[in-house]
Chain A
Amino acid sequence: MSSQQSSPAVFCHGLRKVYDGRQGLLRRPAPSVVAVDGLDLSIGPGECFGLLGPNGSGKTTTVEMLEGLLEPTAGQVGLLGRSWSTNEADLRERVGVGLQETHLPEKLTVEEVLTLFRSFYRRPRALDDLLSEVELTDKRRAWVGRLSGGQRQRLAIACAMVGEPEVLFLDEPTTGLDPQSRRQVWGLIAAYRARGGTVVLTTHYMEEATRLCDRVGIVERGRMVRVGSPAELIAQLAGDHVIELELEMGNDARLTREELLALPSVAEAQLSGEGLWSISSSQPEVGAAATLALVERKGVRLARLVTRKASLEDVFVALTGRHLDDG
Chain B
Amino acid sequence: MARGPTSPVTSESQARRPNAVVQLTLMRLREIGREPGVLFWSFGFPILLSLALGVAFRARGPDPVVVATLPGMPTALHRALVQAGVRVEDLDPQAAATELRAGRVSLIVVPSALPGQPLIFRWDPSRAEARSARAAVYAIAQHAAGQNDPQQVRDEEIHDVGSRYIDFLVPGLIAMNLMSGSMWGVAWVVVHMRVRKLLKRFLAAPMRRRDLLMSLGFARLALIPLELFVILLFAQLFFRVHVTGSYVALLAVALAGSGSFAAIAIAVASRAQNTETVSGLMNLVMLPMFVTSGVFFPSSNFPAPLQPIIHVLPLTALCDGLRMVMTDGAGLVAVLPSLVIHAAWGIPSFWLGLRYFRWT
Interface residues of A (CB under 8 A from B): 1, 45-46, 67-70, 89, 92-93, 97, 99, 101-105, 107-108, 112, 115-127, 129, 143, 159, 162-164, 166, 195-197
CA distance A122 to B23 in the complex (A): 15
The one of B1, B7, B14, B204 that contacts A97, using a Cβ cutoff of 8 Å: B204
B10 on interface, CB distance cutoff 8 Å: yes
Q: Chain B, 199-220, contact with A by CB distance < 8 Å: what is the 0/1 string?
A: 0111111110000000000000
Q: Which residue of A lies closest to B202 (CB)?
A: A120
Q: A108 near B360 (CB under 8 angstroms)?
A: no
Q: Which of B2, B23, B203 contacts A116 (CB 8 A)?
A: B23
- Say if the beta carbon of B30 comes within 8 Å of chain A: yes
- Does any Cβ of A come within 8 Å of B5's Cβ? no
Evaluate contact between B18 and A115: CB separation under 8 angstroms: yes
Chain A residues, CB < 8 A from B17: 118-119, 121-124
State in angstroms the CA–CA spacing of A319 and B202 once bound together: 37
Q: Can you give 19 A-B contacts (C-beta < 8 A)? A: A69-B203, A93-B206, A103-B197, A105-B27, A108-B27, A116-B27, A117-B205, A118-B18, A121-B206, A122-B17, A124-B9, A126-B10, A126-B13, A163-B206, A164-B8, A166-B1, A195-B6, A196-B2, A197-B1
Q: Which of B1-53 contact A (CB under 8 A)?
A: 1-3, 6-10, 12-14, 17-20, 22-24, 26-27, 30-31, 34-35
Report Cα–Cα, A124/B23, bound state, in Å: 14
A123 in contact with B14 given A107-B34, A164-B8 (CB within 8 Å): yes
Instruction: Determine if A120 and B30 form an interchain contact, defined as CB atoms under 8 angstroms apart.
Output: no
**Bound complex: CA of A117 vs CA of B27, how far in Å?**
11
In whole Å, how far is B196's beta carbon from the nearest beta carbon of chain A? Answer: 4
For residue A43, give the distance in angstroms from its CB to the closest CB of chain B: 14
**A69, B1: Cβ atoms under 8 Å?**
no
Is residue B198 contacting chain A, with contact meaning CB distance below 8 A? Answer: yes
Which residues on the A side are within 8 Å of B12 (C-beta)?
126
In chain B, positions 159-187 with a C-beta closer than 8 Å to chain A are none
Q: Return A24 CB to nearest CB of chain B, in Å.
A: 10
**A105→B198 contact, CB < 8 A:** yes
Closest 9 CB pairs of A and B: A92-B206, A196-B1, A97-B204, A103-B196, A119-B18, A119-B23, A126-B13, A119-B20, A107-B34
A116 vs B13: C-alpha distance when bound (angstroms): 14
Total interface residues on B, CB under 8 Å, equals 36
Contact of B197 among A89, A99, A107, A120 (CB under 8 A): A99
Q: Complex Cα distance A127/B8, Å?
A: 11
Cross-chain contact A108 with B197 (CB below 8 angstroms) = no
CA distance A124 to B13 in the complex (A): 7
Chain A residue numbers with a CB within 8 Å of B203 are: 69
Q: Are B8 and A107 in contact (CB under 8 A)?
A: no
Q: Are B204 and A92 in contact (CB under 8 A)?
A: yes
CB <8 Å contact, A107 and B198: no
Complex CA gap A154/B197 in Å reads 17
A107 touching B31, Cβ below 8 Å: yes
Complex Cα distance, B205 from A104, in Å, reads 14
Distance of A205 from chain B, by nearest CB (Å) = 22
Q: How far, in whole Å, are A125 and B345 apart by their CA atoms in the complex?
A: 41
Q: Is the interface of B mostly helix, strand, loop or mixed?
A: loop
Find the B residue at minimum CB distance from A45: B1
Extra inter-chain contacts (20) besides given A121-B206, A126-B8, CB under 8 Å:
A1-B2, A67-B204, A92-B205, A92-B206, A99-B201, A102-B197, A104-B198, A105-B27, A105-B31, A112-B27, A116-B27, A118-B18, A119-B19, A119-B24, A121-B205, A123-B13, A123-B14, A124-B13, A159-B201, A164-B8
Q: Is the CB–CB distance between B198 and A102 below 8 Å?
A: yes
Decide: B206 and A125 in contact? CB cutoff 8 A. no
Is B360 in contact with A120, judged by CB distance below 8 angstroms? no
A198 vs B151: C-alpha distance when bound (angstroms): 100
CA distance A102 to B205 in the complex (A): 13
Bound Cα distance from A166 to B4, whole angstroms: 12
**Among B6, B12, B200, B204: residue with most chain A CB under 10 A:** B204
CB <8 Å contact, A112 and B30: yes
Interface centre among B12, B23, B202 (most CB of A within 10 A): B23
State how many angstroms separate the Cβ of A130 from the closest Cβ of chain B: 9
| A112 to B34 CA separation, bound complex (whole angstroms) | 13
What's the Cα separation between A67 and B205 when bound, in Å? 10
A123 & B205 in contact (Cβ 8 Å cutoff): no
B residues near A116, Cβ cutoff 8 Å: 18, 23-24, 26-27
A106 and chain B: residue at smallest CB distance: B31
Give Cα distance in the complex from A122 to B198, angstroms: 21
A231 to B109, CA, bound (A): 104
CA distance A159 to B198 in the complex (A): 12
B27 contact set on A, CB distance < 8 A: 105, 108, 112, 116
Contact of B204 among A1, A69, A122 (CB under 8 A): A69
Say yes or no: B360 contacts A69, CB within 8 Å.
Answer: yes
Q: Point out the residues of chain B lying under 8 angstroms from A166, CB to CB.
A: 1
Other-chain contact of A122, B30, B206, B360 (Cβ < 8 Å): B206
Contacts of B24 in A (CB 8 A): 116, 119
Given known contacts A108-B30, A116-B24, A99 and B204 CB-to-CB distance under 8 angstroms: yes
In Å, the complex CA distance between A99 and B196 comes to 11
What chain A residues lie within 8 Å of B204 (beta carbons)?
67-69, 92, 97, 99
| B196 and A102 contact, CB distance less than 8 A | yes
- Compute how far the CA of A143 lies from the CA of B33 in the bound complex, rounded to whole angstroms: 13
**Which residues of A have CB within 8 Å of B201?**
97, 99, 102, 104, 159
Q: How far is the CB of A145 from chain B (nearest CB, A)?
A: 10
**Interface residue from A70, A99, A105, A120 paired with B206 (Cβ < 8 Å):** A120
- Selected contact of B205 from candidates A1, A120, A125, A127, CB within 8 Å: A120
Minimal beta-carbon separation of B197 from chain A (angstroms): 5
* Residues of chain A lying within 8 A (CB to CB) of residue B202: 120
Query: Are B206 and A195 in contact, with the CB atoms below 8 A?
Result: no
Considering the chains assembled together, what is the distance between the CA atoms of A248 and B34 in angstroms?
Answer: 60
Indicate if the CB atoms of B20 and A120 lie closer than 8 Å.
yes
Shortest Cβ distance from A93 into B: residue: B206
Complex Cα spacing A108 to B34, Å: 9
CB-CB < 8 A to B198: which residues of A? 102-105
Instruction: Tell me the smallest distance from the CB of B179 to a CB of chain A, in Å.
Output: 25
